[in-house]
Amino acid sequence: MTRAGRDKFAQKSLGGLHRNIKQAKCLMVGAGGIGCELLKNLVLTGFGEIHIVDLDTIDLSNLNRQFLFGRQHIKKPKALVAKETASRFNPNTKLTAHHANIKDSNFNVAWFKSFTIVFNALDNLDARRHVNKMCLAADVPLIESGTTGFNGQVQVISKAVTECYDCTTKPIPKSFPVCTIRSTPSQPIHCIVWAKSYLFNELFGASEDEVPEFDHSEDTDNAQEIKNLRQEAQELKRIRETLGQPEFAQNVFEKVFNKDITRLLEMKDMWKNRKPPAPLSFTSLSRGSLSSCPSDQRIWTPEENLWVFCDSLDRLSLRILGLKSMGEDLLLSFDKDDEDKLDFVAASANLRSQVFDIGCQSKFNIKQMAGNIIPAIATTNAITAGICVMQAFKVLKQKIKDARMVFLSMSGDRGLITEPLRTPNPSCQICGVARLDFECDTSKIQLQEFIKVVLQDVFEYSPSISILHDKLIYDEEYDDNLDASFENLGITDGSFLTILDESDDDQPRRVNLIVQIKTRSPSEPEKSFVIPHRIDIPMKQAQPPSLDSLVLSGKDFGRNNSPHVSNEVEQSRKRKAEDTLDSNQEPSKKVKAEGEIIIIDDGYIEID
Ligand SMILES: Nc1ncnc2c1ncn2[C@@H]1O[C@H](COP(=O)(O)OP(=O)(O)OP(=O)(O)O)[C@@H](O)[C@H]1O
Ligand SMILES: [Zn+2]
C-alpha cells in the first residue's frame, strides 16, 4: 500500500486523532507476549516513532505466541528482531531498538521526558515499578498492562491525575506454613512444595531455611514440632553422605516415607481430626521393571512412582558425583525444565500424596504447579494489547478523564470489565508526593549529613521520619546506616529516596518527599552536596478526592475506593518479598460503562 493510501484509511477512521498519533513518540518496554502484539498494533495504527526496550533474547518457548519471532531468530535479541519484523508492516513508522535493561542509567528522566507516551509490556514487578517511577518523574503518561492466563489488565497512569502503579499493594508470592508442608499436607501442592523445596534441597541443594516458599511465622507456636523437623532434616543430611552407594535410594525412601511418617503417627493429637498417614515400605512395594520414564500425561501407578523415584535419584547422584570429580559446585537447584529433577520431584510428591491419601498428579501437572506456571494465552495478550492502544487514544486526545481501567476475565458474565480511573492515593510512597532533585557527591555524602543538614535544617522535618531506597534505610529505630555514604548504600545517580513523615497520628503529616539523586556537577568540588532550595511539601489529605468529582461529573459508576495503605513503612518491609509476582489485580466492582470505548455485552463489541 502506498504511503498516501495507508494514511487515507487511518485518517478516516481516527479523524483528528490521526495527526496526534503520527506525531507521537512512544516507548514500549518489553517485547514479549504483550509487546509483540502491541508493537504490531502501534505500527499498523500509524504511530510516528517507537522505541523498543527489551533485555532478553528469543527462546524456542516464546514462538507459540510472540509472532514477530521465528525459529531462525532463536538466541537473537527480542528488541532488534521485533523492530526488524514490525518495520515491514509500516515503513512510515520510525523504529529504534534497545537490547537493554530499562533500569540502565542511560534511560534517565530526561530520556523518558522525550516520549509522548510509554507502554509497559513487562512481566515483573520490579521493572514495572521502575518505569512507573520514571514516568511520574518525567511526567509522561504510562499505559501499564499485564496478563496471567485468561486474565488481563490495562491501567492508564498519569501523574497527579490517576493512581500510579504503586498506589495499591500487590499480592505477595504464596508461601505455606512449615508444618503444613512437613507434617500435615492436605493438597497435592503441599506435597509438590515438600518434594521440590524440602526433599530436593536437603538431598542436593540448599537447606530449607533458605527456601522462600516456607513461611516460618508460625514456628514459635509449634516449637516442639519444629525441633523434631530439624532433627529429621539432620538425619537426611547424614543419608546424603551415602549418595552414590547402591542403597542410597532405599535409605532415602525408608527415611522419608516410612521412619518420618511413623514418628508423625505417634503424635496422636495431630490425627484426632485428620486422617492419619500410612507409612510405605520399600521392600513390599514392587519397583517394577520399566525401560524408560512412563508418560507424563497420565497419573503413574505406585510401582511406577517408585521406579521413577529410584531411577531419577540414580541419575541425579551420577551428576553430583560427576561434578565432584571435576571439583565443581555440588549444589543443585530445582529447575522444572530439567527432566531428572522434575522426575524426582514428581515421583516423590506422588509417593507422599499416597502416604497422606491425597490425589496423585501427572508429571505434566506437577511441572505446571512446581514451576508456578500459568500458561500464557496468545489471545489474552492480543486483546490486552488492543485495549492498550484504545486507552492510549484517549490519552493522546487529552481526554484522560475518559480513560478506563480495563480488566479482561473469564470468570464473570462479561469478558471485559471497566472501571473509572482512580485518583492518586495520598499515602502512596511513589506518587502521593512532593519531588526534589538533590545534587551530591554520592561517594562523600553520609546519610546522617543528609538527614541533619537537608531534611532537618532546610525542610524542618522532625526526627520522626523514615527513608526508603527500595527498602527501609533509616527510621528512628533503625539508625545503623547513619555513617554510611550514599554510594555504600547503593544510592547512585538517578536513584530515588522516599522520605516519609512519621509524625504521631494526631499531628498533620506531610506527603512523601521523593528525592532524585543527581551526581553533582564538578563546579564545587570541595562540597559533598548542593544545599537545595526549600520547596513547600503539602500536608496529606485524609481521603483522596474522587476522580469522578474532578472529571467524570454526573456519572455514577458505583466504584469502590482503593484500599489506601496507612503504614507505608510496613508496606516497604513487605515489599522485600514481593519482587517477582506479576500484576494481577482483580476488579473491585463490575460495572457497565456506557459510552465507553469498549463494551462486551452478549458477545457484542461497541467501539466509540
Ligand atoms: N528490566 C527489563 N528491561 C527490559 N525488558 C524487560 C525487563 N524485564 C522484563 N523485560 C522483558 O519483558 C518481556 C515480558 O514478556 P513476557 O511476559 O511474554 O515474558 P517472556 O520472558 O517472553 O515469556 P515467558 O516468561 O512466558 O517465557 C520479556 O521479553 C522480558 O525480556
Ligand atoms: Zn501512587
Q: What average pLDDT score do residues 5-32 get?
A: 90
Are 194 and 88 found together in one domain? no
Ligand 1, atom 20: closest residue by C-alpha: 32
Number of the ligand closest to the Cα of 564: 2
146 lines ligand 1 (CB under 6 A): no
Q: What average pLDDT score do residues 129-147 get?
A: 96
Flag whether 531 is in a domain. no
pLDDT value at position 272?
86
Flag whether 9 is in a domain. no
166, pLDDT greater than 70? yes
CATH code of the domain covering residue 507: 3.10.290.20
- Asked whether the beta carbons of 226 and 219 are under 8 A apart, the reply is yes
| Spatial CB neighbours of 269, under 8 Å, sequence gap ≥ 6 | none
Flag whether 351 is in a domain. yes
Nearest ligand 1 atom, CA 78: 29
- Asked whether the beta carbons of 564 and 427 are under 8 A apart, the reply is yes
Rounded Cα distance, 33 and 64, in Å? 10
Nearest ligand 1 atom, CA 101: 3
Q: Minimal CA–CA distance to 121: which of 31, 26, 27? A: 31
- The SS3 call for residue 557 is coil
- Asked whether the beta carbons of 468 and 491 are under 8 A apart, the reply is no
498, pLDDT greater than 50? yes
Rounded Cα distance, 214 and 190, in Å? 11
Nearest ligand 1 atom, CA 31: 29
82, pLDDT greater than 80? yes
Question: Best-predicted range by mean pLDDT among 45-54, 292-301, 555-564?
Answer: 45-54
Flag whether 73 is in a domain. yes
- Asked whether the beta carbons of 145 and 391 are under 8 A apart, the reply is no
| Residue in the block written with cell 525542610 | 459
Entry pTM: 0.65
- The SS3 call for residue 91 is coil
Q: What average pLDDT score do residues 366-383 get?
A: 88
The mean-pLDDT minimum among 143-152, 457-466, 535-544 falls in: 535-544
Rounded Cα distance, 430 and 265, in Å? 52
Residue 42 vs residue 221, higher pLDDT: 42
Ligand 1, atom 29: closest residue by C-alpha: 32
Q: How many CA atoms lie within 13 A of 263 on its CB side?
A: 13
Flag whether 231 is in a domain. yes
Are 157 and 90 found together in one domain? yes
> pLDDT band for position 4 (50/70/90)?
low
> pLDDT band for position 481 (50/70/90)?
very high
pLDDT value at position 213?
57
Radius of gyration of the chain (CA): 28
Q: What value does the mean pLDDT of the chain take?
A: 83
pLDDT value at position 262?
94
CA distances to 127, 212, 435 from 110, in Å: 18, 38, 15
Are 408 and 269 found together in one domain? no
Are 314 and 385 found together in one domain? no
Are 495 and 579 found together in one domain? no
Q: What average pLDDT score do residues 525-534 get?
A: 86
The mean-pLDDT minimum among 374-388, 422-436, 482-496 falls in: 422-436
Question: Best-predicted range by mean pLDDT among 410-414, 497-501, 593-597?
Answer: 497-501
- The SS3 call for residue 495 is coil
Flag whether 547 is in a domain. no
Per DSSP, what are the bridge partners of residue 437?
516
What is the percent of the chain with per-residue pLDDT over 70, rounded to a whole number?
A: 82
Phi and psi angles of residue 22, each rounded to the nearest 5 degrees, phi first: -65, -30
Are 460 and 476 found together in one domain? yes
Q: Between vectors from CA 501 to CA 499 and to CA 504, what angle results, nearest 5°?
A: 160
User: How remote is the CA of residue 591 from the centroid of ligand 2, in Å?
Assistant: 23
Are 394 and 443 found together in one domain? no
Ligand 1, atom 24: closest residue by C-alpha: 62
Neighbour tally for 256: CB within 10 Å: 25
Are 410 and 439 found together in one domain? no
Is 310 annotated to bind a ligand? Reply is: no
pLDDT value at position 506?
76
Cell output for 344 = 524426582
CATH code of the domain covering residue 577: 3.40.50.720
Structural domain that includes position 451: 433-519
556, pLDDT greater than 50? no
Identify the domain boundary among 498, 519, 540.
Answer: 519
pLDDT value at position 551?
29
490, pLDDT greater than 50? yes
Are 334 and 227 found together in one domain? yes
| Residue in the block written with cell 506454613 | 177
pLDDT value at position 581?
27
Flag whether 550 is in a domain. no
Sheet (strand 25-29) strand order: 94-99, 49-54, 25-29, 117-120, 142-148, 151-157, 404-408, 416-420
State how many domains the chain has. 3
Residue 567 vs residue 242, higher pLDDT: 242
ipTM value, please give it: 0.98
The mean-pLDDT minimum among 323-337, 367-381, 454-468 falls in: 323-337
Are 244 and 272 found together in one domain? yes
The mean-pLDDT minimum among 50-59, 372-381, 466-475 falls in: 372-381
Number of the ligand closest to the Cα of 428: 2
Rounded Cα distance, 533 and 526, in Å? 20
Per DSSP, what are the bridge partners of residue 512?
433
- Alpha helix segments (H runs only) across 356-412: 363-370, 378-396
Are 224 and 285 found together in one domain? yes
pLDDT value at position 176?
76
135, pLDDT greater than 50? yes
Flag whether 207 is in a domain. yes
Cell output for 177 = 506454613
Is 537 annotated to bind a ligand? Reply is: no
Number of the ligand closest to the Cα of 430: 2
Q: Which residues are catalytic?
A: 179
Rounded Cα distance, 591 and 12, in Å? 31
pLDDT value at position 219?
57
Q: What average pLDDT score do residues 82-91 get?
A: 96
Sheet (strand 433-440) strand order: 433-440, 512-519, 496-501, 465-469, 471-474
Are 205 and 135 found together in one domain? no
Q: Minimal CA–CA distance to 467: which of 491, 443, 488? A: 491
With b meaning 16 or more CB within 10 Å and e meaning fewer, what string describes 160-175? ebbbbbbbbebeeeeb
- The SS3 call for residue 471 is strand
